[in-house]
Amino acid sequence: MTFCFFSAQYLPTPGGVERYTWNLARRCVAAGHRALIVTSALPGLPARERDPDGLEIWRLPVFPVMGGRFPVLRPLPPAADLWAQHIDFAVIQTRMYTQSIWAARQCKRRGIPALVIDHSTGYMMHGGLGGLLGRWYEHLACGMIRRCGFPFYGVSGDVCRWLRTFGITAAGTLPNAVDPEELAVLAKKDPCTDWRQTLQVPADGHLVVFVGRLIPEKGGLRLATAVQQLPGCVLAVAGTGPEEEALRRMGGTIHVLGALPHPQIVQLLSQADCYCLPTEYAEGFPTTLLEAAACRCPIVCTHTAGTGELLPGEDYAVFVEDTRPETLAAALQTVWKDFPAAEHRAQKTLENLSARFTWQAVFATMMKTAQDACAQRAKR
């Protein structure tokens, strides 16, 4: 079968949706199928290429609205060759992008079965006239995609519930996931960085990690302010975004590492004393939480979407009710004061993850959905 994944943003742009697409597409190829990824053009990257995993990437011209966070497909994208690839099934990532609308309408027109996977639990924009217009647009976009008749899935139960806001009843969940065995190999892959030595973590000190886009909603700056209050505590920030320069200016025990290769992120999480995600963003199911769990890294986080499934109680993680620096500092100290308890929470989280959130299980569900849809198409 030929699968086509439509993802408005894709690697090397860092993010959960990007890695979700990559992981499912890789498993398609490993199972003997063909995988195409249709995404947005980026400076310096070719319009079409095959990557080392055997994935065929098509990059369409866009307007980089909101600093590239919301790429808008240019009119009449040069995609005639794409539709000549005999696509059997399409996976459309997220409900709001102009590329998602275009992909859904093109698939319906051409009789290509598809599904839509959503990854958020809130509106993209908040407050003011921009927030009002953003909500209007999201409802319009969801309505246009919904009318194409394809089933919607959420990456968590919270996402499925949020889809009701747009009059959509989800067909089920295709949860965000990881491959614990693969991450265990990456944690020791050469060249293996000794992050505690590189970042000069004191022998009796603590290494805290933050991975993600450096935008205000994710809370990176607030976390850095909290870490500065804790003697012997070092923060490693892996990611890029508008807050990057402000974080770099803090200096001292705050280390901004930029967009790291995935193996180095896994090694960082494997060596850390805590992963902290103080996000107020409308997350669907943060990939970084899953990766931290797979690396047995104790977690401090807000009650964002998906946490109730991976972290169903306080015996799995330390939760914070707000993201003020003093609240975050107190939560981190809770981890340090009883590290055996933190390790016990991390072990319970790993066991829950291994039982419910692996790519093998998600791929099997997607494959059955695709095969059933293709069988129905053949009967027509």
pLDDT in tens, 205-219: 999 999 988 989 899
Please tell me which residue, 380 or 183, carries the higher pLDDT value.
183
| Entry pTM | 0.80
Q: From CA 290, how far away is CA 23, in angstroms rounded?
A: 13
pLDDT given at position 283:
67
- Cα–Cα distances (Å) from 335 to 24, 28, 103, 208, 300, in that order, read 34, 40, 46, 11, 8
Average confidence (pLDDT) over 258-281: 93
Residues with Cβ within 8 Å of residue 341, at least 6 apart in sequence: none
Q: From CA 302, how far away is CA 93, in angstroms rounded?
A: 25
Please tell me which residue, 7 or 123, carries the higher pLDDT value.
7
pLDDT given at position 78:
80
> In 66-182, at which residue ranges do the beta strands (DSSP E only) sit?
70-73, 89-93, 114-118, 152-154, 172-173
Please tell me which residue, 139 or 158, carries the higher pLDDT value.
139
pLDDT given at position 120:
86
Least confidently predicted of 35-44, 69-78, 121-130? 121-130
Average confidence (pLDDT) over 340-354: 95
* Structural domains for the chain: 2-177+358-379 (3.40.50.2000), 180-356 (3.40.50.2000)
Answer yes or no: is pLDDT of 92 > 70.
Answer: yes
pLDDT given at position 147:
96
pLDDT given at position 376:
85
- Please state the length of the chain: 380
pLDDT given at position 282:
58
pLDDT given at position 102:
97
305: confidence class by pLDDT, cuts 50, 70, 90: low
Name the phi and psi angles at 371, rounded to 5: -65, -40
pLDDT given at position 306:
67
287: confidence class by pLDDT, cuts 50, 70, 90: confident
Please tell me which residue, 256 or 14, carries the higher pLDDT value.
256
302: left (phi over 0), alpha (psi -120 to 50) or beta: beta
Name the phi and psi angles at 61, rounded to 5: -65, 135
Distance of CA 270 to the CA centre of its chain: 19
Burial of 249 by CB count in 10 Å (0-12 exposed, 13-18 middle, 19+ buried)?
exposed
Q: From CA 47, how far away is CA 253, in angstroms rounded?
A: 41
16: confidence class by pLDDT, cuts 50, 70, 90: confident
13: confidence class by pLDDT, cuts 50, 70, 90: confident
134: confidence class by pLDDT, cuts 50, 70, 90: confident
Look up residue 196 and give its two tokens. Answer: 């505690």
Answer yes or no: is pLDDT of 125 > 80.
Answer: no
pLDDT given at position 57:
97
